[in-house]
Structure 1
Amino acid sequence: MKKNIIYISIAVIAGLLAGYLIFGNSGTEQNAVKDLSDMSDTHDHSGESENQMWTCSMHPQIMQPEPGDCPICGMDLIPAESGADGLAMNEIKMTENAMALANIQTTIVGNGTMSEDDGMITLSGKIATNEENNAVQASYFDGRIERLNVNYEGQKVNRGQLLATIYAPNLVAAQQELLTTASLKESQPELYKAVRNKLKLWKLSEAQINAIETSGKVRDNFPIYATVSGTVSEVMAREGDYVKQGQPILKVSNLNSVWAEFDAYENQISNLKVGQKIKVVTNAYANKEFDATVSFIDPILNNATRTVTVRATLKNTDDLFKPGMFVTGKLKGEMKMTNEAITVPASSVMWTGERSLLYIKTNPNEPVFEMREVTIGNRNGENYAVTEGLKNGDEIVTNGTFTVDAAAQLQGKKSMMNQGKKEDAMMPMSEMKMEFSENFQKQFKKALKPYLQMKDALVASDANQVSAFAKATSTSLKSVDMKSLGSMEQSHIKKSIEMLDAIAANDNLENQRDHFVILNENMVPIAMSVNGTDAILYVQKCPMANNNKGAVWLSTEEEIRNPYYGDAMLTCGSVIEEIK
Structure 2
Amino acid sequence: MNRKILVGLILIFFGYMVVALPSCKDPEHDKHAEAGKYTCPMHPQIVNNGPGSCPICGMDLVPVNSAGGKNELSLSDSQIQMANIRTVKISSSSFSTSKVLNGRLIVNPERTALVSSRYSGRVEKLYVRETGGRVNKGQALFQVYSEELQTLQQDYLLQLKQVAAFPDEKIYSSMREAAKNKLRLFGVSDTQIRSLEQSAKTSPLLTVFSNASGTVTELNITEGQYVAEGSQVLKLENFDQLWLEMDVYPNEIAGLSIGTKVKASINGMNENEQTVQIDFISPQLDPSTQILKVRAPIHNPGNLQAGMQATVFLPVSEISDAMSLPLDAVVRDEKGAHVWVKTSKNTFSPKMVKTGAESSDQIIILSGLEDVKEVVISGAYLLSSEFILKKGTDPMAGHDMSKM
TM-score, normalised by the number of residues in structure 2 = 0.49
TM-score, normalised by the number of residues in structure 1 = 0.35
Larger RCO (alpha carbons 8 Å, 6+ apart) = 2
Higher strand share goes to which structure?
A: 2
Higher helix share goes to which structure?
A: 1
